[in-house]
Amino acid sequence: MRIPRLFLPALWLAALLAVAPARARSAENGEIVSVAKREFLARGLGRKGLDLLMEKNGKIYIVASPGDLAALFAARVPFSRETDRFFPFDQTGISPSGGLNGAYHSTLELETDLRVLERDYPQLAKVVELGETLEKRKIYALKISDNVSLEENEPAVLFVGCHHAREWISVEVPFLFGKYLLENYAGSPEVQDLVNRSEVWIVPIVNPDGLEYTIHVYRYWRKNRRFNADGSYGVDINRNYAYQWGYDNVGSSPGPASDIYRGTAPFSEPEADAVRRLFLSRNFRAMISFHSFAQDILYPWGYVNAPTPKEAELDAIARTMSGLIAAVRGTVYAYGRAAGLLYTTNGDTVDWVFGVSGIPGFTIELPPVDVEHGGFFNDEAAIDAIFRENLPAMLYLTDYAIQHPSSPAVRALEWARRLLSPPRLKFFGRIDKAP
């Protein structure tokens, strides 16, 4: 249905929201709409802090809050309601088969599976409590190393998922990587060598509160669940890191109701702060932050479309990872500078990691490539295949981190760690200090 230009936006807005099922409707949830790309550009909507879902066939798709819808009406921007094309309204081939989240992890299910890995591989796996969310959920990491209880100051690699709550597949890929390393340590010389010479740190769910909200209330929720001063909810955790935080109002938003709201200050959110404290406590040499969807491998900078001093190195690593992924089953992941290949973001994880340390850091946008192939709703049967195609790239980056010595920026960071009081990381059963 094409929405005409209306003179009574409040009445039409109420009618538009009323057609959504009750489970997906609340004062803070809205609709998926599309705007013609030409209209989108002419109206400067890219600078309005909207939650952009995708571009497809000359249309820009937006996850629009009630406030966004009201603003579009008030500005007389013609748009079409597209909600019925998306899960859970259109469930063609992508509905979870068991329970609300099917084969995907809830926060409790993840904690259980992490503890099982720790129990089954006590010499190799340790579950670490990084922090606590606003709703009192724990943020967990899985540490994997050959002498996991010792502090050996080995090269470390970080894999994180689920900064954005609706990106369920981003939980599964890093978790399955940890599971793969542990299950294959005894039988694979390659895996054993990597684990023996490194620390692999995996944080599958950075945003537990948001994830639970997507399971039980609103599947398209993106942010955490902070109650903001204006009565809205949520901060985009992936705009809350300190490097170039608030650089402009395009790559993040100062408006609390925006889906790219950056928060009141850098690291104002406990989730981003938990990642910060972990990163500063270890000798990390490389990292990947998993997201969805687009099938891209992105490297800094995100805040501005300009090269870093290590553009050639980052591009070569991304190109290699893309080739390794494609070799598995032909899936093509584009690669390039984040601000050039995707869009500008400021205050994001990978820019911060690179900005403070200079190590190779990447955002991997997992499949699918567009909404026609599932959007945020990967078929459960595809979970293992998506992990398997990313596995060689994760193994390669781990080896790369081991093979390449510390850069001057990393060495400076190591000196800074010695001068600062180290953060305390809670291991099950005791409190251990980071080195």
Stronger pLDDT, 31 or 285, i.e. the higher one: 285
Reading the block at residue 273, the tokens are 């702060």
How sure is the predictor about 408, in pLDDT bands with cuts at 50, 70 and 90?
Answer: low
Query: Confidence class of residue 407 from pLDDT cuts 50, 70 and 90?
Result: low
Its CATH class, for the domain covering 107-433, is alpha beta
Verify whether residue 365 is a known catalytic residue. yes
Q: For residue 28, give every residue at least 6 positions away whose Cβ sits within 8 Å of its Cβ, in sequence order, or none.
A: 65, 66, 218, 232, 233
Instruction: Give the residue extent of every domain in the chain.
Output: 2-85, 107-433
Q: Is 176 helix (H, G, I), strand (E, B) or coil?
A: helix
Beta-sheet strands, E only, within 312-360: 334-337
4-18, 25-39, 84-98, 292-306, range with greatest mean pLDDT: 292-306
Q: What is the pTM of this model?
A: 0.79
Average pLDDT over residues 313-323: 97
Gap between the Cα atoms of 427 and 43, Å rounded: 52
Closest CA to 141 of 178, 181, 193, 184: 178
- Distance from the first to the final alpha carbon of the chain: 59
How high is the mean pLDDT of the chain?
84
DSSP string, 111-138: HHHHHHHHHH-TTTEEEEEEEE-TTSPE
Q: Given the structure tokens 């398209």, which residue do they identify?
A: 220
State residue 86's pLDDT score.
Answer: 63
Q: pLDDT tens-digit profile of 26-84?
A: 445 678 888 998 888 888 887 676 777 766 778 888 888 787 888 888 888 988 888 77
pLDDT tier, 18 (very low <50, low <70, confident <90, very high otherwise): very low
How far apart are the C-alpha atoms of 234 and 224, rounded to whole Å?
Answer: 5
Please give the distance of CA 295 from its chain centroid, rounded to a whole number: 13
Which tokens sit at 301?
Answer: 């900078």
- pLDDT tens, position by position, 228-276: 999 999 999 999 999 999 999 999 999 999 989 999 999 999 999 999 9
* Mean pLDDT, residues 136-155: 94
Q: What is the reported pLDDT for 355?
A: 96
Q: pLDDT digits over 161-216, tens only?
A: 999 999 999 999 999 999 999 999 999 999 999 999 999 999 999 999 999 999 98
Instruction: State the catalytic residue, choosing from 365, 372, 380, 414.
Output: 365
pLDDT at 223 (0 to 100): 97
Q: How many CB atoms lie within 10 A of CB 127?
A: 20
The answer for residues whose C-beta is within 8 angstroms of residue 328's C-beta and 6 or more apart is 388, 389, 391, 392
Closest to 261 measured CA to CA, from 277, 238, 293 = 238
pLDDT over 90, % of the chain: 61
CB burial of residue 333 (10 Å; 0-12, 13-18, 19+): buried
Residue 356: per-residue pLDDT? 94
SS3 sequence, 43-97? CCHHHCCCEEEEEECCEEEEEECHHHHHHHHHCCCCEEECHHHCCCCCCCCCCCC
Q: Using CB atoms within 10 A of its CB, is residue 92 exposed (0-12), middle (13-18) or buried (19+)?
A: exposed
- pLDDT per residue over 347-372, tens digit each? 999 999 999 999 999 999 998 645 44
Rounded Cα–Cα distance for residues 104 and 376 (Å):
12
Q: Is the pLDDT at 14 greater than 60, yes or no? A: no
**DSSP for 198-209, written as a single string:** -EEEEES-S-HH
Binned at pLDDT 50, 70 and 90, residue 425 comes out as very low
Q: How far apart are CA 138 and CA 133, in angstroms?
A: 6
Which pLDDT belongs to residue 199? 97
C-beta separation of 228 from 211 below 8 A: no
Regarding predicted confidence, which is higher, 285 or 151?
Answer: 285
What's the CA gap between 81 and 73, in Å, rounded? 13
Q: Tokens in use for 106?
A: 């809830």
pLDDT at 219 over 90: no
Q: What is the pLDDT of residue 29?
A: 65
Which pLDDT value is given to residue 99? 61
